[in-house]
Chains A and B, each alone.
Chain A
Amino acid sequence: MLRIRNLEVAYGRRLALRRVSLHVDQGEIVSLIGANGAGKTTLLRTVAGLVRPAGGQVLFRGRDTAGLATERVVALGCSLVPEGRQVFATMPVLENLLLGATVQYRRGRRAEVEADLARAYRLFPRLEQRAGQLAGTLSGGEQQMLAMARALMARPALVMLDEPSMGLAPLVVKDLFAAIRTVRAEGATVLLVEQNARAALRLADRGYVLETGRVVLEGSARALLDNRDVQRAYLGGEPSAAREGERP
């Protein structure tokens, strides 16, 4: 689905990504974890066509998307749910959702849009209840749901989410992650950037750990959860010495 080789991204002279290679296969949930400033957002924005890479290759469904306009990338089937849930605060929820369906409208597929809207409401029933409400009046969790639902309106094959759990209460995060699971079950592939490494790795099949623009670790989600460096740096420490053997 997505294959990245030796991706290099610079902001001015400063390299944000040095040499990143990663892939996401059809139907997978892959999690990208790392500290602030590691380059996670940069990577997603590059795939989405918002940042031009200085080097390397981004192949989405076999096509080199480096330098393509964002609309083209979306039309190819890759949608980004950006960091900080950027919804149009002064527009109603429904309008926000329909904006996500631009690709479908352009193709003249209005019937599909109706079906997609129904699907979005099934996934997040609260959005239907608040369809006429201005997006700016939604709670943080609801705004994140809206941002995700809006991205799904484009019927993406690959959904990229940038820190969807940021600033949300644990219960809301649980709902949101359940929705990601459903989206995958319905056929989409997911690339999930998170600082909440534990929750992300429990959801994901595989993961990559990014540090200062480089991948330092990769592997199955289980292997990463068991990696002591990951535990120390991202999971709030290793289990106490005496209880090591008890972990499932």
Chain B
Amino acid sequence: MSDASAQAAVCWQPEIERMDREALEQLQLERLEATLTRVYRTLPFYRQRLDAAGVDPDAVRSVEDLRRVPFTTKEDLRASYPYGLFAVPLRDVVRLHASSGTTGLATVVGYTRNDLRHWGSAVARVLVAGGVTREDVVQVAFHYGLFTGGFGLHQGAELVGASVIPMSSGHSRQQLRIMQDYRTTALACTPSYAMHLADELLEAGVPRGALSLRLGLFGGEPWSEGLRRQLEEKLQISATDNYGLSEVLGPGVAGECGEKRGLHLAEDHLLAELVDPVSGAPARPGAVGELVLTTLTKEAFPLLRYRTGDLTTLTTERCACGRTLARMGRVLGRTDDLLIVKGVKVYPSQIEAVLVALEGADPHYQIVLTRRASMDEATVLVEVSEAIFFDEMRRQSGLRETIARRLAEELGVHVAVRLVERKSLDRGDGKAARVVDRRGA
């Protein structure tokens, strides 16, 4: 443990962030009970759900009792588009955002004045945990708009008292120029955009010494320790991960402290559970599971047991930083990516990793799921170059066998492999459909 962590780290709201767990549990129980009472009274959706499940909200008397309450899913939110799950009249709402959602309808979320205040302080916590102070110049390079990233980080940074540059995303060269001229010390954006900026920096020939950057506050998408190392090295910063989703709050749901060993959750505003994504039962202690969140203070858009679709771990172990708030691990993937092939769990990212590592295989691929005798089977279609496809049949079958073997080694289950012509897989609007599910067919 570093010297710095021996003494308690600076917190934005120490009375919450270092609260003893017993007092926190009392607070969570009080807020959960009030939320249930309010939601049951005001929202027919939840009233019907609870009634159908035979759950009397008055009978929920502990955090464990919450497990009897049915889950709320993304589909439920879509079905109530746009305002069906608002618990207050629209005139009490002072801000509207929407979740992007690559498929289907967006989800509109509303915030009351109190909701905005809570959101701001939750983001401020994450920023301060990541090292931001009022001395910093924070360049917010998240998109400003319906997406919660830009405005979320903005109001948190402003609350901390930093000098906030509302850059939004895009216009990389301009970002870099402002970063130099305004002496930006902290960059808030997605890790992939940070990587793009780092590459642009190199390309533009800007010497690193021309920047004042010292912190990176990255979130909004899954990334890795490997990418953290690269970003910290290329930009010479300390980079922390923060997590959020607009349905629940936006950024501020959780963020890393200086220890960089898990993201502290805003447990005074949210109740976090980890469940087995298939059975919905509580995940085994220490196991990977799907994060399920219940809001505890939301006035406009409360949610009961929302399935985030994000796979992670959860621990209440004491952190060396002194915060007592539970930590989630990095998001490891999405449940909607999770494939179960012949009983074995497979993530498309694992398949991609194998393909990328193999020379000759293009990382353009598609996983086709079929079902035979109630067993799921997967076929991986891989695009190969024209030369290989037309001229070298023997090499081709060699490549196919190599891919199949390596996939079997990696995944622990055999999947069929087919080579297809370049550009034969539908890329739609730029995003290839990675998984085609024909199990129902």
Contacts and interface: CB of A to CB of B under 8 A. Distances in A.
A5 B92 CA distance: 31
A220 to B, nearest CB: 9
Given A5-B26, A21-B29, A216 B58 contact: no
Contact of B114 (A23, A214, A227, A241): A227
Contacts of B112: 227-228
A9 to B, nearest CB: 14
A214 B117 contact: no
B37 interface: yes
Contact of A227 (B58, B89, B299): B299
B406 interface: no
Interface in A199-230: 208, 214-219, 223, 226-229
A5 B61 CA distance: 8
Interface in B46-78: 58, 61
A11 B297 CA distance: 32
A215 B26 CA distance: 14
Contacts of B61: 5-6, 19
A214 B299 contact: no
Interface string B298-327: 010000000000000000000000000000
A226 B113 CA distance: 7
Contacts of B88: 228-229
Given A21-B33, A218-B34, A226 B58 contact: no
B37 A215 contact: yes
A214 B58 contact: yes
B58 A19 contact: yes
B30 A22 contact: yes
A155 interface: no
Contacts of A219: 114, 297
A140 to B, nearest CB: 34
Nearest to A3: B26
A60 B88 CA distance: 36
A150 interface: no
Contacts of B30: 21-23, 208, 215, 218
B338 to A, nearest CB: 37
A61 to B, nearest CB: 14
A18 interface: yes
A38 B30 CA distance: 17
A22 B33 CA distance: 10
Interface in A175-205: none
B38 A216 contact: yes
Nearest to A59: B26
Nearest to A55: B61
A198 to B, nearest CB: 17
A62 B23 CA distance: 12
A23 B38 CA distance: 19
Interface in B8-26: 23, 26
A21 B92 CA distance: 27
Contacts of A229: 88
A67 B440 CA distance: 62
B114 A223 contact: yes
A216 B92 contact: no
A228 B92 contact: yes
A227 B38 CA distance: 13
A23 B30 CA distance: 9
Contact of B37 (A23, A216, A226): A216
A215 B38 CA distance: 9
24 contacts: A5-B29, A6-B33, A19-B33, A21-B29, A21-B30, A21-B33, A23-B23, A23-B26, A23-B27, A23-B30, A25-B23, A208-B30, A214-B33, A215-B30, A215-B33, A216-B41, A217-B34, A219-B114, A223-B114, A223-B117, A227-B114, A228-B89, A228-B112, A241-B91
Given A214-B33, A214-B58, A226-B114, 8 more contacts: A3-B26, A5-B61, A6-B33, A21-B26, A23-B23, A215-B33, A215-B37, A227-B299
Interface of A: 3, 5-6, 18-19, 21-23, 25, 208, 214-219, 223, 226-229, 241
